[in-house]
Amino acid sequence: MHTNSNTEPFRIAGLGTALVTPFAADGSLDRAALRRLIQFQIAGGVDFLVPLGSTGEASTLDDAEQLQVVETTLDEAGDRVPIVVGCSHNDTRALIQRAGQFSALGARHVLSASPYYNKPTQEGIYRHYRALREATGLNVVAYTIPGRTGGNILPDTMVRLVDNGIVCGIKEASGSILQIQQTCRLVGGRCAVFSGDDAMTLPVMAVGGAGVIATASNAVPGAMRRWVDELREGRFDLARERLPALLPLFDACAAEPNPIPIKAALHLIGLGEPVYRLPLVPPASATVDALRQALQPFLE
């Protein structure tokens, strides 16, 4: 196995924000706005940051822009919070090449979705992650999100990946609480399992999850951090009391494909322009109204 002397042990838990990638009015990458967003997240107390996920519109960024996002995020965050870089591809060779470029910039952790479109078997998924880990030595967080990839990473495959030291974290967005419970039971204590869906955070953490990689925290990092802390401390009564204020925002953020609503939410609080790259388009006025109403309690 490749060894990377700079790779750090994976001790990440709690609230991670899947960062939006800000664009300027002309559609170009807005690195200054990204720096402001990162500062806002750190000031809000997030535990770690995740650039280049689906929330970051990574699929529409060219190779140079992806490197710029990683470089900017690492530079702005410094050593204040860990960075888990989104790094997904359905071509294993291309994935390894991209991960190597991120590693050269200083990345130590990657979040990698199961290969999309190809529809590999569970064995193919296992070998895909094994090849990534062996070639780069990076800490790998496996990401199962069948709604976007067309494939699922089953609990038994997760166990193989954990048992063989290939992955050190799991982002679970299968939508199946039964699958999540099975995964947490099988790898609990040996691997951090994160909710990949804001609205599933409470049940995921109730069955042993380590935290959430969230979308809504782009706009309300402080409120999300307090809520996740209560869940981590087992104060579920308090967390349930806080949930009604958050649910309308979770609902509004899910009204249209991510990151359409959350970018609009950031615009409403003065943190970026609602600029998207096709095929994503601005939200409907009803979504913006719902976001404005959902954000109101956090602005008072």
3 state SS for the chain: CCCCCCCCCCCCCEEEEECCCCECCCCCECHHHHHHHHHHHHHCCCCEEECCCCCCCHHHCCHHHHHHHHHHHHHHHCCCCCEEEECCCCCHHHHHHHHHHHHHHCCCEEEEECCCCCCCCHHHHHHHHHHHHHHHCCEEEEEECHHHHCCCCCHHHHHHHHHCCCCCEEEECCCCHHHHHHHHHHHCCCCEEEECCHHHHHHHHHCCCCEEEECHHHCCHHHHHHHHHHHHCCCHHHHHHHHHHHHHHHHHHCCCCCCHHHHHHHHHCCCCCCCCCCCCCCCCHHHHHHHHHHHHHHHC
| Given the residues 119, 126, 129, 143, the one annotated as active site | 143
Active site residue 119: no
| Given the residues 126, 171, 263, 276, the one annotated as active site | 171
Catalytic machinery residues: 143, 171
